[in-house]
Structure 1
Amino acid sequence: MSAEGDIAAVENVMAKARAAQSSYEAGGSQERYDRAAQAVAWAIMEPTRNRALAELSVATTGIGNVPDKITKNHRKTLGLMRDISGVKTFGVIRDDPTTGITEIARPIGVVGAVVPSTNPGATPANNIINALKCGNAIVLSPSPKGVPTCERLLEHIHAEFAKIGANPDLVQMVPAPGSKAKTQRMLELSDLVVVTGSQDNVRRAYTCGTPAIGVGAGNVCVIVDETADLTAAAAKIAASKTFDNATSCSSENAVVVVDAVYDAFVAALAREGGALIPESNSHEIVARLWPDGHLNRAVIAQDAPRMIEALGLSGRVPEGTRFVAVETRDIGPDHPLSGEKLSLVLALYRASDFEDAATLVERILTHQGAGHSVGLHSADDSRARHLGTTLPTCRVIVNQAHCFATGGAFNNGMPFSLSMGCGGWGGNSIDDNLNWRHFLQTTKIVREIPPREPTLDEIFADYWLVAGQ
């Protein structure tokens, strides 16, 4: 197809989405919106389809592993459905006689969503559910390797839609094969753009002329201090680091350990399958992990045996090694271990004390990952508050497996999401986990109320006592 034909095909998809959304909203009700969201959730959570989607995802993207994809598809979707259960997104959602304001929920329209290959099933499903819950239509632009999974997911969704009489044009994707030109046209024609993935895609979204929500780069740093339960911390870090072969942006990339417990923590990591690579050998890891200045695809999100072989560690690490922790001390663009690695490789830093650890984390985040999140394993809650008031981060995850906790968990209060806003530090318009609230707008009816005009003395009395009039 010609370039003009490609663009015309995208425009046709967007036109169908807009017509479907208009009808969806015109005949809208809370029941209708909720039912559509449930249909999408069951499309990915039904066990047979979930497994098939997970297997297809791993086979076509070459990253992650099937059991963890299945878990992710299920738990992320189940958690999201819990979050939106009973939430009003249709009609009057607030009526305050004190202010005289009535707030009415309104859809945004057609959402354009760019989704990554790391989670080609769970991320689109999350976006689709949020969009439909709020009365929108949605068009997806998956990464090239994520196209087969996205196509299969849409087949399942449309099959569920047929059962409830929902219009399949409410959920579509950019016609394959994808291209930057097609995605750009989709961005331009959307009413809201949501982008998860590369920072190039995020920047393109922010400059497309459509209101956009993008998320920042991950490069999670975790502090282990001298008050931590080292056995629990090591188990949680290992579970988080190895989940889906570290595809998550919330997977630990650096662990900063205070000197007083450094050796004991390394021993605890070893019991969890973490092999220590001394700093004297770190240059070998760097050379193999970034052979041409780019991350080695033979290592990215691969199972541990393949990762070990690609890094030249066969026979040099204990049998049963699940991940490696590479001792390092340097930070910055010339020291890639201090950045995101998308693999079963941790950078391990030694800090003299907690204050030094916090300084190291700040330097790492300033290099990469500002705004996303940090972790803390500690029995001193005041240290979490210190990090939350001094570091450039939107989340401080305390005594939890980081990749499970950051995007929402059943044992914390964060919204279930696969997209983490990073605030101004990360160049984003939101600092929250992407959730249903971001897919909704409101109309406010404003009525007259009795005046509430203060006197100057009520406003300035305390100031005048300090500064005079």
Structure 2
Amino acid sequence: MTVQDDLIAVDLVMARARAAQTRYETDATQLRYDRAAQAAGWAIMQPEHNRALAELSVQTTGLGNVADKITKNHRKTLGLMRDIAAAKTWGVVADDPATGITEIARPVGVVGAVVPSTNPAATPANNIINALKGGNAIVLSPSPKGVPACALLLDYIYAEFDKIGADRDLVQMVPAPGSKEKTQRMLEGSDIVVVTGSQDNVRRAYSCGKPSIGVGAGNVTVIIDETADLAAAASKIAASKTFDNATSCSSENEVIVVDAVYDAFVAEMAKTGGALVQDEAAIIAKLWPNGHLNRDVIAQDADKMLVALDMVGKVPADTTYLAVETAGIGPDHPLSGEKLSRVLALYRAKDFDDATRIAGDILSYQGAGHSIGLHSSDDSRALALGQTIPTCRVIVNQAHCFATGGAFNNGMPFSLSMGCGSWGGNSIDDNLNWRHFIQTTKIVREIPAVEPAVEDIFAEYWAATGA
């Protein structure tokens, strides 16, 4: 097929999606939207489907591990279904007699979603469920390696749709094989664009001429201060760092430990499988051969990682991740950036203020806006980070990759896409959620005038300035 044929094929998909969305919205009810979202949710959570998707994801992308992907597919979807269960996305959603304004929820239309290879089932499922809940159609553009898992997910969704009489054209993907040209055509034909993954794709989305929601790069930095429960901190970091082989953008990449508890934390870290490495040059040489991340290390199991980094016999046999001592920050010090592997950069700070400075420098280099972690019993320090560090989330005393995208023991919306605000070059600072998939029409009625006198507004200012 020629490039023009490919573009025509995309146009046909978009046309079917638009027609399906119009039918979906016509004579809609909240139940209709809810049923479609439930169908998509069960399509991935059904245990046999979940396992098949996890196995295919690892087989085709070579990233992560099956057991953790099963957990991710289940918990992320279950949490999302909980979040949207009572959400009202159709009809009148607000009515305020005081302002005379009535708000009616409306779909955004056709959603174009670009999804990454790191979560080729969980991320598209999250987007699909949110889109359907809001009355939209959605067209997906998976990464090339993520195509098989995405296609299988759609097959499962179609089977559930057939049970409830839903239109299959509400959920489609760009015809395989994927290409930049096809993705661009999809973006341009959508009503709103949602992009998770590479920053190149985010930038392309923002320049496609349509409203776009992109999310920023992760490079999670965590501070451990002298008041922290060191054993708990080490255990949570180990669980988070190794989950799905560090494929999550919320996986810890740098840990900054204050001097007073540095050695004690290293000892606790060793108990959880974290091996201290002091020869950073050797790790850098193996992790970034030719200046690029080593594919034999990215998102691999511990045994494969240790072989690729030539660490077998140099660290304990039960090592599950490496903590590499370093002090450098910036492009000449790659350990200070995202590593997508079971490798952690370990920094030593004089005190909390110094740790805050180091964290700010790291995030200014990479990961601004995404999130920062703190293990501490002093809550004022979380507030201090929230007021000074360029971040949208301060995760306190939690396993970061489980907490940032929503957890059953915190109040964040369940999501696999974290907005990073202006610091990360994003249009949102929240976790991507159902609210981003609807818009509202306002009915505006006349009310008694509320017009202040000039002195009501400026009297205090005049008194303060002598005006």
TM-score, length basis structure 2? 1.00
Structure 1 length-normalised TM: 0.99
C-alpha separation in 2, matches of 1:411 and 1:347 = 28
Deviation of residue 86 (structure 1)?
Answer: 1.1
Which residue identity is paired with 1:18?
A: R
Task: Tell me the equivalent position of 1:221.
Answer: 221
**Which residue of structure 2 aligns with residue 269 of structure 1?**
269
The CA distance in 1 between the partners of 2:364 and 2:239, in whole Å, is 26
1:344 maps to which residue?
A: 342
3-state DSSP of counterpart to 1:376: strand
Residue identity opposite 1:75 in structure 2? R
Shift of 1:468: 2.5
- 1:436 equivalent to 2:395? Answer no
The separation in 1 between residues aligned to 2:290 and 2:116, in whole angstroms, is: 23
Cα-to-partner distance string for 1:403-445 (whole Å, 9 max, x where unaligned): 0000000000000000000000000000000000000000000
Render the CA deviation track for 1:149-168: whole Å, top value 9, x for unaligned: 00000000000000000000
CA deviation after TM superposition for structure 1 residue 390, in Å: 0.2
- Deviations, residues 288-327 of structure 1 (Å, cap 9, x unaligned): 0000111000000000000000000011110111000000
Secondary structure of 1:111's match?
A: strand
Aligned residue among 384, 397, 412 for 1:399: 397
- Corresponding residue of 1:22: 22
Deviations for 1:435-468, whole angstroms, at most 9, x for unmatched residues? Answer: 0000000000000000000011111110010112
1:158 equivalenced with 2:158 (yes/no): yes
Deviations 1:260-310 (A, max 9, x none): 0000000000000000001xx110100000001110000000000000000
Residues 451-466 of structure 1: pairs in structure 2 closer than 5 A: 451-466=449-464
* Structure 2 residue aligned with 1:298: 296
Indicate the residue corresponding to 2:129 in structure 1: 129
Q: State yes or no: 1:37 paired with 2:37.
A: yes
| Corresponding position of 2:101 | 101
Superposed counterparts of 1:85-234, under 5 Å: 85-234=85-234
Structure 1 stretch displaced more, 455-464 or 354-363: 455-464
Superposed CA offset, 1:381-418 (max 9, x none): 00000000000000000000000000000000000000
Matched residues, number: 467
Q: How far apart, in 2, do the equivalents of 1:46 and 1:108 lie?
A: 29
Equivalent AA in structure 2 for residue 15 of structure 1? A
Q: Structure 1, unaligned stretches of length 5 or more?
A: none
Amino acid at match of 1:284: A
Tell me the distance in 1 between the aligned counterparts of 2:96 and 2:24: 28
Q: Distance in 1 between matches of 2:350 and 2:129?
A: 47
Residue type matched to 2:443 in 1? I
Residue 419 of structure 1 is matched in structure 2 by 417
Residue 59 of structure 1 is matched in structure 2 by 59
Query: Once the two structures are superposed, what CA deviation does each residue of 1:117-174 show, in whole Å capped at 9, x if it has no partner?
Result: 0000000000000000000000000000000000000000000000000000000000
- The SS at the match of 2:28 is coil
Letter in 2 for 1:99: T
Partner of 1:331: 329
| Structure 2: distance between partners of 1:3 and 1:460 | 63
Q: Unaligned regions of 5+ residues in structure 2, if any? A: none
Aligned equivalents of 2:234 and 2:180: distance in 1?
A: 42
Distance 1:373 1:425 in 2: 11
Q: Distance in 2 between matches of 1:105 and 1:217?
A: 31
Structure 1 segment 316-327 matched on structure 2, within 5 A: 316-327=314-325
1:77 partnered with 2:77: yes
CA distance in 1, matches of 2:243, 2:281: 26
1:357-386 Cα distance to aligned partner (Å, 9 max, x none): 000000000000000000000000000000
- Name the amino acid aligned to 1:184: Q
Quote the Cα distance in structure 2 between the aligned partners of 1:254 and 1:221. Answer: 5
Q: SS of the residue aligned with 2:239?
A: helix
Q: For 2:173 and 2:152, locate their aligned partners in 1 and report how far apart those are by CA, in whole Å.
A: 11
**Residues in 2 aligned to 1:415 and 1:363: alpha-carbon distance in whole angstroms:** 28
Counterpart amino acid of residue 226 in structure 2: E
Structure 1 residue 45, shift from structure 2 partner: 0.1
Letter of the structure 2 residue corresponding to residue 211 of structure 1: P
User: How far did residue 198 of structure 1 move?
Assistant: 0.3
- SS state at 1:292 partner: helix
> C-alpha distance in 1, partners of 2:374/2:328?
21
User: Distance in 1 between the 2:292 and 2:103 partners?
Assistant: 50
- Structure 2 counterpart of 1:202, one-letter code: V
Output the CA distance in 2 between the equivalents of 1:86 and 1:424: 31
Which whole-Å CA distance do the structure 1 matches of 2:442 and 2:466 have between them?
Answer: 41
**TM-superposition CA deviations, 1:85-104 (whole Å, max 9, x none):** 11100000001000000000
Give the drift of 1:36. 0.2
CA distance in 2, matches of 1:468, 1:116: 60
What CA distance in whole angstroms lies between the structure 1 residues aligned with 2:31 and 2:187?
A: 30
Letter in 2 for 1:198: S
Shift, 1:27, TM fit: 2.4
* Partner SS, residue 69 of structure 2: helix
What are the equivalent positions in structure 2 for 1:241-320 lying under 5 Å apart?
241-278=241-278, 281-320=279-318
The runs of at least 4 consecutive aligned structure 1 residues that moved more than 3 Å come to none
Q: Confirm whether residue 6 of structure 1 aligns to residue 43 of structure 2.
A: no
